[in-house]
Structure 1
């Protein structure tokens, strides 16, 4: 297989850089949900409001990374902004359950240590992503649920609000439409795919990646249904050896494929293969001593390879019947999206290329 072009050039020159190829580079990628998001479904005012909200969240996290802050701090701050914005299905503005309540799920993961925290079915924590981080850092566990997660949140001194604080008229209307359409169907499902889950992934200037996801789940969910968003490896995963991923979409399928972990695993295996090939190609002298040494920090996978892997895992999930998307960033500073729905609320910023937000599938 062909080695990465910049490594090939260094090899031809008989030298390798002693420094990581992307030292000091940071990247932040965000999403606000994927689904049936088309131009004729949004008014001009809604389109403008969503873009403004994405831009505000993106700048919140970028400001932290720009000043040398940690990726974990950046993604938590980013998602807190989105959790407070009623345009998204997380925090305030989350969808209603079948019983007319609002329940939140969230998770977070540190790629440097592979520590993780998650909470599901919470009712009163204003910022579920912060609760997930407290589970990771201040408890011996990874995953808390329901009343136990609520109790832990109170013990941690996190801001509590009435469940009604999260409600919006738009989401109430969606529940009423849902119930009217499928009132007698115990397998009722949100066929319009009103997801709106939010997520963020980042790499900081130290090369540490992190990922987090927050959601209200699916309109009309029943029986304590849990989707992929709080499930480490399905909706969220981060590993400094490969990447950070946050997902949004039909959670049952993301769980079955283990989408977030699968993308990270394939990137890691591909990178390790490239590294082994590079080391095997180093010339040796008559005594078998290498003329130089190849270190893992000296190269990484190319952007097109990251995109190929993300696209292939989304395609695998789609082949089972699922839809949605992911955001990805790597320790080498590459950020990307992959989705198989008409649109995905999304944004990206980096130390290299400024910032941009998008909604529809045909936008760059």
Structure 2
């Protein structure tokens, strides 16, 4: 555990996806864009926490920035399904109350993380999907996104390449509503594009949030781990807050996020030991790949991934900002 004398009163950790992220594959301009974006998001969340804002507020603020950034597979810049649609998933969880909200298969809401929080706070439910989630978004006054609002040319090309390789038909190309030149710097890290944030606030509460566009070429309404409470997202003040990214089917089968929290709460493992046991041992043994970020009520911060890279950043009260991309970074 963290020494109480040096324990930060607030902390935040951010991820932007894990996968095949190697120096040889990223151009200098791409790497710089990702590092700058991660730093901006972490600092924005830190500003909320430093001003006394809640962990939930810091998470919503930070994830919304990631959803609006075409570098990441969430919101604007999300990957396409085999039918040529952007189907978005998100979840948020409050460690103080175990309140949680999640949405899946959202296509017309600009910020799925905000919709997930509204589900938690105002719907009486935990998870809403598809048309029902969209109806609740309209009822709640969530900002809508018109057709093509999430389109980027680079993600569309990834879909065309995928469908061509699989021998599947290529759907009609959607109309983009705005030009996003920054999207050309996006790196295709494989099938592990997700964004997530975990935070500790000055009241001692932790929270977690995750948002994703899923996987390129997904079919049949596939949903991964991101909106599944306990798999890709979990938070409890009795243990920690976790957000995951990776091969979602494996994270669901292992209940990765809650498993990490259980190791902290029930076995007394340090946060780093807990994330390493689940990611490096259990996930790897099952054949899954990806990573997690985590924060504990005592200020511990951790991340662990079994891929070549994970976009990540963290900052806490009295501690410098750290930004990492490759495995041998911080």
The TM-score normalised by the length of structure 2 is 0.91
| Structure 2 match to 1:341 | 307
1:311 matched to 2:276: yes
Query: 1:5–1:324: structure 2 CA closer, same or farther, 3 Å change rule?
Result: closer
Distance in 1 separating the partners of 2:227 and 2:36: 26
Question: Where does 1:84-99 land on structure 2 (aligned, <5 Å)?
Answer: 84-99=68-83
Q: Map of 1:271-350 to 2, 5 A cutoff?
A: 271=268, 305-314=270-279, 315-350=281-316
1:63-86 alpha-carbon deviations (Å, 9 max, x no partner): 011111110000110000000000
Q: Distance in 1 between matches of 2:147 and 2:326?
A: 32
CA distance in 2, matches of 1:318, 1:249: 12
- Which portions of structure 1, spanning 4 or more consecutive aligned residues, are displaced by more than 2 angstroms? 20-24, 191-196
Q: 2-side partners of 1:221 and 1:59: how far apart?
A: 33
Give the Cα separation in 1 of the matches to 2:226 and 2:147. Answer: 20
Distance 1:5 1:347 in 2: 20
SS in 2 for 1:201: strand
CA distance in 2, matches of 1:40, 1:143: 40
Structure 1 residue 102, shift from structure 2 partner: 0.3
- Distance in 2, matches of 1:194 and 1:266, equals 28
Indicate the residue corresponding to 2:175 in structure 1.
Answer: none
Q: 1:327 to 1:161 in 2, by over 3 A?
A: same
- Cα deviation for residue 5 of structure 1 reads 9.7
SS in 1 for 2:230: coil
Partner residue in 2 for 1:120: 104
Secondary structure of residue in 2 paired with 1:231: coil
Match of 1:245 among 238, 242, 247: 242
Question: Aligned residue for 1:215?
Answer: 212
Displacement of 1:59 in angstroms is 1.0
Residue 196 of structure 1 deviates from its aligned partner by: 2.2
Q: What corresponds to 2:118 in structure 1? A: 134
Does the aligned pair in 2 maintain the 1:22–1:332 contact within 8 Å? no
Q: 1:28 aligns with which of 12, 21, 24?
A: 12
How far apart are the structure 2 equivalents of 1:5 and 1:109?
Answer: 24
- Taking the aligned partners of 2:192 and 2:247, their CA distance within structure 1 comes to 8
Aligned to 1:166, what secondary structure does the other structure show? coil
Counterpart of 1:283 in structure 2 is none
Equivalent residue runs for 1:133-282 within 5 Å: 133-183=117-167, 193-271=190-268
Describe the shift of the 1:245–1:218 C-alpha distance in structure 2 as closer, same or farther (beyond 3 A). same
Given that 1:36 and 1:194 are in contact with CA atoms closer than 8 Å, whether structure 2 keeps it comes out as no
* Equivalent residues of 2:312, 2:323 under 8 A apart: yes
User: Distance between the aligned counterparts of 1:30 and 1:134, measured in 2?
Assistant: 22
Q: How far 1:23 moved relative to its partner?
A: 6.7
**Aligned equivalents of 1:128 and 1:153: distance in 2?**
9
In the alignment, which of 354, 358, 361 is matched to residue 320 of structure 2? Answer: 354
- Deviation string, structure 1 residues 57-111 (Cα, Å, up to 9, x no partner): 1111000111111100001100000000000000000000011110100000000
Taking the TM superposition and a 5 Å limit, the aligned residue runs for 1:65-76 are 65-76=49-60
Could you tell me how far apart the structure 2 residues matched to 1:74 and 1:241 are?
A: 20
Task: Give the number of aligned pairs.
Answer: 311
Q: For 2:195 and 2:135, locate their aligned partners in 1 and report how far apart those are by CA, in whole Å.
A: 24
CA-CA distance at 1:22 after TM superposition: 6.4
CA–CA distance in 2 between the matches of 1:5 and 1:201? Answer: 18
**Which has the larger Rg?**
1
Deviations 1:104-148 (A, max 9, x none): 000000000000000000001110000000000001100000000
Unaligned runs of 5+ in 2: 170-187
| TM-score normalised according to structure 1 size | 0.83
